[in-house]
Chains A and B, each alone.
Chain A
Amino acid sequence: MAMAEPAAIRTVSEVLNAGRPARAGVSRSYWAGVRRRLARDRVTIVCAAILFVILAAAIFAPYVTWADPYKTSMIRRLLPPGSPNHILGTDELGRDMFTRLVYGGRISLFTGFMPVFVATVIGGTLGVLAGYLGGRSNMLIMRVMDVFYAFPSVLLAVAISGALGAGLVNGLVAMSLVFIAPVARVSETVATQVRNEDFVEAARATGARTWRILIEHILPNVLGPILIYASSLISVAIVLASGLSFLGLGVSPPNADWGLMLNTLRQSIYVAPVNAILPGVMIFVTSMCFNLMSDGLRAAMDVR
């Protein structure tokens, strides 16, 4: 009976590791893994590309548009998209739609980002402190947050900005207040979980000061979940900010964001339905891309 050549027998680890480079001392941090997974996610990349274009156009608005966003023209009112010189038509005062959509993006994106940023900083700090300190501090902070949480979010935003009066800044203040409570809740939950981990106990056992433990041990471990949650809020914030403008609670004319454009064009819906709907398309696309990107981020970060 012929024996198999010993050289032909491969061990399990050889089979499993075939074709893999041997790694020695090469180490992957958590964030490197996240980047790698994100780079493989096609939906996220497409969304990021679309958002990049919208964002770049908004930032460099004067360089990508050629009309004056405020120049009205009685004879050129509500031209349909595809008209000469006005690729997306004109609005009810004869202003170029494309130019106004690009300039409107500046305000809409800003009003989408800013409240989430403010709320993440304030709500995140409150929530992490409540979670880490526990006890009475937790009670005090979280009960106040519960009260804000007891309002439907749209209602609270409308109530505060309605009471403060119309205006960009008032809208931003109102929306920031709306998002603080949910961010604080998420942060508190995560911080409470992390605080009870052994590595925090071990850090406390070195006699290190509280702020050092918070910054070096708690923060890196709560930041991910908080940022994922905040990123999912951007989509909500853009829709809500435009909604406030749609109600006339945002910027004041002749400035316009997508929400206010939607509002003023609504009167012309029977005459020029396509023009009337265009600003909403922008809100929709932006909000959807942020949503999908947030989902992608969540998927990329949840894996250990």
Chain B
Amino acid sequence: MTLAVVPENPRLPVSADPRDRGGPMQPMLLVEDLKKHFPIKGSLFSPSRAVVKAVDGVSFEVAKGETLGIVGESGCGKSTTARLLMHLIQPDAGTIVFDGDPVGVVRGIPVDELQRNMQMVFQDSYASLNPRLPIADSIAFGPKSHGLPKSEARERARDLLGMVGLNPRLFAERYPHELSGGQRQRVNIARALAMHPRLVILDESVSALDKSVEAQVLNLLVSLKDRLSLTYLFISHDLNVVQYVSDRVMVMYLGRVAEIGPVERLYEAPQHPYTRALLSSRPSMDPRRRVSVPPLSGDPPNPVNPPSGCRFRTRCPLAEAVCAEIEPPLAALPAFPAHKVACHAVAAASGHSGTAVPV
């Protein structure tokens, strides 16, 4: 396994983090062939062998200090990927390497050590805070459970509240139901930061907020990232938001990676037909450019029984015979090695009649 695959990234952290182990070129996170298949419950007499292939062989890497956006329809495996990385659910297969240390193997980094370095902010700001605890206690829980004395943990919680823009004197003792959605999500961010993580997974963290509040929280996230030299994994279904915060973007479809590349490149020259459909489905600000025909129709196919070959072929305008037979590998474009696509129509000599877009 080669560990040092470095994406072209202009925004490498300037200051060296004392916790850095692998050096600035070592990606913060390397994920290879991650898999999670959920069995569907059977019964005593009809044991079911069907599985939902929620995440089915996902590989990517996140460089230090960058923001990787993950987009895709609901059910494509974005959130499952996040939970697998956090080890909230156990992966069936795959390798996760954190700053050069493989996770959960002998002489690697143990899972609880990983969880200290990697934190997550959930979508539902209310459900992700314990309704019975004052918010400062919710924030202090993590450090406290890792042995920090109670008073110090609460001190850290108050500092963090200030850092996310909530006056600790007013807010520390409040309960989640006394806060607005935006304030609660700030608390959730503070709670994630309380562990002093190096990588933060933001799983639809701003999606449920009002647009104006969403912008404030996004700006907070951007400034925190610079201040604390964080690395983000930003999961969202909102393509505009992802474009705003991400350095690179990964598109997922039915548990697999369809396309991954630098944000400007991916938004300007999308290669995968699915990415193009997603991008053209964004409502236009210009009424003259309104789209009346939906670029993508229907729901994604059932992940219990995904289509053979390329999973997108059932909704793809370019589908041909080869797409049903061979699963397209995620391959770098010859001209742009940082841009990878899993599509026969793009790959040379794939057996597909033509490439859709000039590269």
In the complex they form, do A and B come into direct contact, defined as C-beta atoms under 8 angstroms apart?
yes
B128 within 8 A of A: yes
A304 to B131, CA, bound (A): 9
Q: Out of A24, A204, A209, which one reaches B170, CB within 8 Å? A: A24
A256 to B115, CA, bound (A): 61
Contacts of B131 in A (CB 8 A): 30, 199, 221, 304
- If A220-B132, A221-B130 touch, does A202 touch B175 (CB 8 Å cutoff)? no
**Stretch from B134-142, B313-321, B346-354 forming part of the interface with A:** B134-142
B124 within 8 A of A: yes
Interchain CB contact under 8 A, A205 and B115: yes
A206 to B143, CA, bound (A): 8
**Chain A residue at smallest Cβ distance from B112:** A207
Interchain CB contact under 8 A, B130 and A208: no
Contacts of B171 in A (CB 8 A): 25
A28 within 8 A of B: yes
How many A residues touch B, CB cutoff 8 Å? Answer: 24
Interchain CB contact under 8 A, A30 and B175: yes
B120 within 8 A of A: yes
- If A207-B115, A207-B116, A221-B132 touch, does A202 touch B191 (CB 8 Å cutoff)? yes
Interchain CB contact under 8 A, B142 and A198: no
B134 CB → nearest A CB, Å: 7
A206 to B173, CA, bound (A): 21
A198 to B187, CA, bound (A): 14
A228 within 8 A of B: no
Q: Interface size bucket, B side?
A: 35 or more
- If A199-B128, A205-B119, A221-B130 touch, does A27 touch B174 (CB 8 Å cutoff)? yes
B161 within 8 A of A: no
Q: Out of B119, B123, B130, B142, which one reaches A220, CB within 8 Å? A: B130
A207 to B111, CA, bound (A): 8
A25 CB → nearest B CB, Å: 5
**Chain A residue at smallest Cβ distance from B124:** A198
Residue-wise interface mask of A (1-37) relative to B, using a CB-CB cutoff of 8 A (1 in contact, 0 not): 0000000000000000000000011011110000000
B133 within 8 A of A: yes
B155 within 8 A of A: no
Contacts of A208 in B (CB 8 A): 141-142, 145-146
A30 to B175, CA, bound (A): 8
A207 to B171, CA, bound (A): 26
A164 CB → nearest B CB, Å: 36
A14 CB → nearest B CB, Å: 20
B178 within 8 A of A: yes
**Chain B residue at smallest Cβ distance from A200:** B130
Q: Out of B123, B130, B134, B146, which one reaches A217, CB within 8 Å? A: B130
A121 CB → nearest B CB, Å: 20
A216 within 8 A of B: yes
**Chain A residue at smallest Cβ distance from B122:** A198
Contacts of A216 in B (CB 8 A): 130, 133, 141
Contacts of A29 in B (CB 8 A): 132, 134, 175
B217 within 8 A of A: no
Contacts of B188 in A (CB 8 A): 202
Q: Out of A201, A207, A221, A304, which one reaches B128, CB within 8 Å? A: A201
Contacts of B195 in A (CB 8 A): 206
Contacts of A67 in B (CB 8 A): none
Residue-wise interface mask of B (129-171) relative to A, using a CB-CB cutoff of 8 A (1 in contact, 0 not): 1111110001001100110000000000000000000000111
Contacts of A202 in B (CB 8 A): 120, 122, 128, 188, 191
A30 to B170, CA, bound (A): 18
Contacts of B173 in A (CB 8 A): 25, 27
A123 to B19, CA, bound (A): 46
**Chain A residue at smallest Cβ distance from B191:** A202
Contact residues, A200-244 vs B (CB, 8 A): 201-209, 212, 216-217, 220-221
A302 within 8 A of B: no
B285 within 8 A of A: no
A203 to B141, CA, bound (A): 8
A32 CB → nearest B CB, Å: 10
**Chain A residue at smallest Cβ distance from B111:** A207
Q: Out of B88, B112, B175, which one reaches A28, CB within 8 Å? A: B175
| Selected A-B contacts with CB under 8 Å, 29 pairs | A27-B174, A27-B175, A27-B178, A29-B134, A197-B127, A197-B128, A198-B123, A198-B124, A198-B127, A198-B128, A199-B129, A202-B128, A202-B191, A203-B130, A206-B115, A206-B116, A206-B142, A206-B145, A207-B111, A212-B145, A216-B130, A216-B133, A216-B141, A217-B130, A217-B133, A217-B141, A220-B132, A220-B133, A304-B131
Which of B's residues lie within 8 Å of A, judged by CB? 83, 86, 88, 111-113, 115-116, 119-120, 122-124, 127-134, 138, 141-142, 145-146, 169-171, 173-175, 177-178, 188, 191, 195
Which of A's residues lie within 8 Å of B, judged by CB? 24-25, 27-30, 197-199, 201-209, 212, 216-217, 220-221, 304
Q: List the 9 closest A-B pairs by CB distance, nearest first.
A: A206-B142, A208-B145, A207-B112, A198-B128, A207-B115, A220-B132, A198-B127, A198-B122, A27-B174
With A24-B170, A199-B127 already in contact, 19 other A-B pairs whose C-beta atoms are closer than 8 Å:
A25-B170, A25-B171, A27-B174, A28-B175, A30-B131, A198-B122, A198-B124, A198-B128, A201-B88, A201-B122, A203-B141, A205-B115, A205-B120, A206-B146, A206-B195, A208-B141, A209-B145, A220-B132, A220-B133
